[in-house]
Amino acid sequence: MPRDDAGTLTGRDPASGRTLRVRAEDGRISEIRAVAGPAERWLAPGLVDLQVNGFAGHDVNTTDVDAAAVAALVRSLHRAGVTTVVPTIVSAPEERIVAALSAVAEARAADPLVAHAIPYAHVEGPFLSADDGPRGAHDPRYVRPADLGELRRWGAMAGLVTVSPHDDAAIDLIRAATRMGVRCAVGHTHATPEQVTRAADAGAVLATHLGNATYATLPRHPNHLWAQLADDRLHAGFIADGHHLPADTFRAMLRAKGIERSHLVSDAVSLAGLPPGRYRTPVGGEVELSETGRLSPVGTPFLAGASRSLADGVATAVEMAGLTLADGLRLATANPGRFTGDRGLLRVGAPADLIAFTWEPGDTTLDVRTVITAGRTVLDR
C-alpha cells in the first residue's frame, strides 16, 4: 500500500522519477523527502477541475438541487481523484442560478471537506452569444444580455463567470466583476478579435473550453479563436476527452497557447462516470453514452456534453499531444490551481491534497487508487 501510515503517502514523482514520501499535518504538506526503492504507483497533487456540471448521476443544474446533492457530487469526484471542484452552473432563469449557488454555499457550510473542495462556483452564462454554434447547448430561452445587477444578486459564491464580450455591456460587466474579485472568462462567443482584446483589457483572465462553442465555419483570419490563442493574458481551458477536439487541433492549440497558459477541464455532466448505455436527460432528451465516453443525442452525430473524468482527460491529453505524464498532470493540477489559491502543488505548506495512481503509456485514464484531501484519506484501494 502506498499510504504508510495516517497522513503519509509514498509514490513515484512523474517529474523526476524519484520515489517520494509526503507527510501531512493539520491539512498541509509538512514534509517531502526522497526514499530508496521503486514505487508501484505514481504520486501527484489532487486534480483541480474548474468546470464540472455533474458526475456519477449528480448535477448542480437540476431544478431541485440542494446541499446534499452538492456534497454527493464532491464525494463522487473525490473518488475520481478530483480534490478541488468548481461546480458549474449553466444558463438558466435567475432564480435557478441563485438557488444553485445557495445550495453550494449551504453544502460548504455543512461540511468542512466540501468547503475545502469548493473554493467558489463557476456560472457559465447566461451572458453568452445567442447565435447557433457559439451558444452551444445552452437553452436559448435563458441566454440574455450582460446585467451587472444580476451578477451582484448572485452573491459571493459566484467566483468565476463565463461571458461573451460581443458588446459594450458585456465588456463593462467584465470590468466591474474584476473589480469585485470575480474572475471572468471569455467563452460561447461571436466576439470580434478587437472585442476579445478589450475583454482582456477589462480583466478577463480565462478562455472557456477553447475551440468549442463556436460556429462550424469561421473566417481563416481574423477570428476570435486566434485572438484568444494570441493573448497571453488569457489562460485557456481545453476539453481533452477525444471528442470535443481532434488530436491535431488540441496539439496545435496547446503549442500556440503554451503549457504554462493552458489547463484541462472535464466539463462533465451528470452521466459522466456512469456505464455506457441509453439515458433520458431533462435537457438533451434521449442520449447515448458510448464505450469511448462519447455522449450524443440518439441517432445523431452531435455531442450532448462531456462524460469523461479529469483523470481520463490527463491520460487522453498525454496521448493526443505527445506530452510527458508530468506535463499532462500540470494541466490538471498546478495550472488550474493558480485560480483557486495554492491548490495543485506538491510542496511543503501547500494543502495536503494528494493522489496515488497507476498509469502506463497508452492507458485511457489514471487509475486512482488513493486520495487524500485536506490531510484526510477519502479513498484507499
Residue 188: inside a domain, yes or no?
yes
Instruction: Please name the residues in contact with 128: beta carbons below 8 A apart, sequence gap of 6 or more.
Output: 91, 134, 135, 136, 138, 143, 162, 163, 164, 187, 188, 189
For the entire predicted model, the pTM comes to: 0.96
Residue 177: inside a domain, yes or no?
yes
Residue 105: inside a domain, yes or no?
yes
Residue 236: inside a domain, yes or no?
yes
CATH of the domain at 336: 3.20.20.140
Residue 123: inside a domain, yes or no?
yes
Q: What is the CA radius of gyration of the chain?
A: 20
Number of domains comprising the chain: 1
Separation of first and last alpha carbons in the chain:
8
pLDDT of res. 331: 98
pLDDT of res. 281: 76
Residue 372: inside a domain, yes or no?
no
pLDDT of res. 4: 55
pLDDT of res. 252: 98
Low-confidence ranges of the chain (pLDDT < 70): 1-6, 282-284
Structural domain that includes position 189? 46-341
Residue 7: inside a domain, yes or no?
no
pLDDT tens digits, 13-50: 999 999 999 999 999 999 999 999 999 999 999 999 99
C-alpha span between 264 and 335 (Å, rounded):
9
Residue 379: inside a domain, yes or no?
no
C-alpha span between 168 and 145 (Å, rounded):
10
Query: Exposed, middle or buried by CB within 10 Å (0-12, 13-18, 19+), for 303?
Result: buried
pLDDT of res. 283: 56
Q: Are strands 206-207 and 183-186 parallel, antiparallel or unpaired?
A: parallel
